[in-house]
Every structure is written in structure tokens, then in C-alpha cells.
Amino acid sequence: MNTPLTTDLGILSAVGNTPLVRLRDSGSGAGVLVKLEYLNPSGSVKDRMALAIIEDAEQRGELKPGMTVVEYTGGSTGPALALACRAKGYELKLVTSSCFTPERLAMMSAFGADLEVLPRKSPDGMTQEDVAGMTDRVAELAALPDYFSTDQFHNQAMVEGYRRTLGQEILEQTDGRLAAFCTGVGTGGTLMGVALAIKEKVPSCQVVAMEPASSPALSQGVVGPHQLQGLSGGKSPLVDLSVIDSVETAGDEEAIATAAALVKTDGILAGITTGANVVVARRLAERLKPEDVVVTIAVDSGMKYMSTGIFG
């Protein structure tokens, strides 16, 4: 009997089970492996988060047919939620800002999201003022009848979703032999979910949070504008520092340069935040032995950054 080529889950069945690849030039230290999360259907790691939050809300009876989902975003959460809501039949209202790349906004619209775009507060990148404006507007919308807020910065369902899927995949693909894991902090859900999975099986593994050098909120309590789209640049309530071994920073320029180089050296067309993740992963690798392994994440596709000109 032939194996069926399709499933009843539609496009959502394509979320997860992404490849883990070794970078060609990891320097003289440990090997650096990158989980290619931009191969998820909407082009980012956030597909896992969106699916986990929506299905958790459905199971708890908080999200029902006919309701409208609402969230603020400028990173990859928007396209991911738009995809999940389109696949499941929900309307989606997204509050965003003009400080984010037009490709992201176009993707959200393509999946059917209703966008409300607030004017940017600074020409230098995302600021906490941008976040505050978006947060306030979503709070107004969430108070309306038949609206459901995914509340991404406080929603524990995403942590469990990442622990159960992304964290377990990394453990299986490395056979549990990894010395360090690092990724940037947006909501903190990816970091915490993977950290909990890894620490349960490999307690000795270093779990490292990456944050923008110009907005080192976790390590120094300082916030400022930055170009690492998708990272909050602030403190997330989901982040439990007792689970994290250390915090490292990456600057805008080195992140951009690394993202531009990755597509030439390894064929990995990923965004600026992925560049920052690799900057920190290589830094960690230099401190470890050649037989060790460092894992990080290619969080989103470089296709969302073409208008920035970073790829030449």
C-alpha cells in the first residue's frame, strides 16, 4: 500500500522538524550548528509559537469560531500568527509599526491579517516607545467583545510549545551531545522552552541569552534603539534568569555583516538576528574544545530584509 502524500492538517503539518546544519567555518574551537527555523511555512521560528498559542487557547475554550485574534508585532510573530489564523479560519488584527521592514508587513497582509501601522518613533530602529504605543493599542482592542489577545510576552503556552518541539528536536538531532546553546531574547519563549528541554537532559550545557549591544536590558538594565528586528531589547516576564547561564550581546554592525556573509559562505539566507545569534555562537565556540558542539537558531528568512540592502 502506498504511503499517502498529504495529511488532514494542511499547511500547519509543515511546522517543525527543520534541519540542523554545521557551519563550514567554525574557527578553531567547537563546531557551530544552526537550526534552520526559517524553513517553517511563514519563514521563521515563530510558526511554532503561533500554533502553540492558538491551539492552547482553543483547548481552554478561550478562542472560539467567529472571534478575532489580536496582537502587536514587528518581528516574525505577525506572519506566523497570520498563517495560523488563516489556516484555522480566524480573523486577525495586528498592530505594528513603520520601523519594521515592508516585507514583513506585506507578508502579514498576504496571509489576510488586518494591519494597523503606527508611525515609528526613531529613525535609528525600534525603541521602547514603539513597543509602548503598540502595547497600549492592543490593550484597547483586546477589551472589545469577541477579541482574543495572544499576549505573547506573558503567554506560557509558547514556552511549553518550544520545549516540546524545538527543544526535543535539538536534543534528538545532536543525540544530546551539545556544550552550549544560544539564541536572542524577544518574548523569551524560544530561549526558555529550549533551555528547559536541554537542562532536563544535559544539565552541563551552557544556555546563553543574546541581546542587542545597544539595548542590554538583561545584563545591564539599559534599553535603547537597535536593528535586531524581532528582539524586544527589554526585559521579558517569561525569562527566568535562574535557568540561563549567561547573557551575551551582539552589535548591529557585526550582526549585519555576519548575516551577509552566511549566505556567501554557507548558503544560509537568514536575517539580521540570525547574524547576531551566530556572532555569539562563534564567540562561545572559541572558548570550548574542538570536539564540543554549540547550537544556535536561524530564526527567520533573509527574504524579509531585502529592502535593507544588507545582502548587496
CA 138 and chain centroid, separation: 20
Q: Are residues 52 and 81 in the same domain?
A: yes
Q: Are residues 136 and 15 in the same domain?
A: no
Q: Are residues 60 and 26 in the same domain?
A: no
d(CA 88, CA 287) in angstroms, rounded, equals 46
Q: Are residues 88 and 135 in the same domain?
A: yes
Residue-level pLDDT, tens digit, the chain, 312 residues: 455 555 566 999 999 999 999 999 766 789 999 999 999 999 999 999 999 999 999 999 999 999 999 999 877 899 999 999 999 999 999 999 888 888 888 989 999 999 999 988 877 777 778 888 898 999 999 999 999 999 998 999 999 999 999 999 999 999 999 999 999 998 899 999 999 999 999 999 999 999 999 888 888 888 887 888 767 656 677 999 999 999 999 999 999 999 999 999 999 999 999 999 999 999 999 999 999 999 999 999 999 889 889 998
Ordered strands of the 206-212 beta sheet: 20-22, 31-36, 293-298, 180-184, 206-212, 246-250
Q: Are residues 32 and 126 in the same domain?
A: no
With contact defined as beta carbons under 8 Å apart, do 240 and 85 qualify? no
Question: What is the structure's pLDDT at 30?
Answer: 93
d(CA 46, CA 35) in angstroms, rounded, equals 13
d(CA 96, CA 131) in angstroms, rounded, equals 9
d(CA 287, CA 284) in angstroms, rounded, equals 5
The HSE-up count of residue 44 (CA atoms within 13 Å, CB side) is: 31
Domain hosting 211: range is 10-39+158-308
Does residue 270 lie within any of the structural domains? yes
Number of CB atoms found within 10 A of residue 3's CB? 4
H/E segment holding residue 32: strand 31-36
d(CA 158, CA 140) in angstroms, rounded, equals 23
Which residues touch 134 (CB under 8 Å, ≥6 apart)?
Answer: 72, 73, 74, 95, 96, 97, 118
Does residue 212 lie within any of the structural domains? yes
Question: What is the structure's pLDDT at 1?
Answer: 44
Question: What is the structure's pLDDT at 5?
Answer: 52
